[in-house]
């Protein structure tokens, strides 16, 4: 009974880590691209 629970917890943790990494990369891309677009449109 403990093996399916531990495997499901491991999969959820893996999914959460992947989701957190995706959100982090998306935020980094957003904050690095927006100033460039802002400067280009202000010229």
Question: pTM of the entire structure?
Answer: 0.50
Residue 2 confidence (pLDDT) above 70: no
Give the C-alpha distances (Å, rounded to integers) separating 30 from 21, 41, 42: 14, 16, 18
Query: How far apart (Å, rounded) are the C-alpha atoms in residues 21 and 13?
Result: 12
Indicate the SS3 state at residue 40. helix
Residue in this structure with the two tokens 């100033």, named with its chain if needed: 35
Residue-level pLDDT at 15: 86
Q: Which residues form the domain of 16?
A: 1-43
Residue-level pLDDT at 4: 62
Residue 14 confidence (pLDDT) above 60: yes
Domain count, the chain: 1
Residue-level pLDDT at 25: 92
């Amino acid at each position: 009974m403990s093996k399916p629970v531990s495997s499901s917890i491991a999969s959820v943790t893996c999914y959460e880590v992947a989701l957190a990494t995706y959100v982090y990369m998306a935020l980094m891309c957003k904050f690095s691209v927006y100033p460039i677009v802002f400067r280009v449109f202000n010229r």
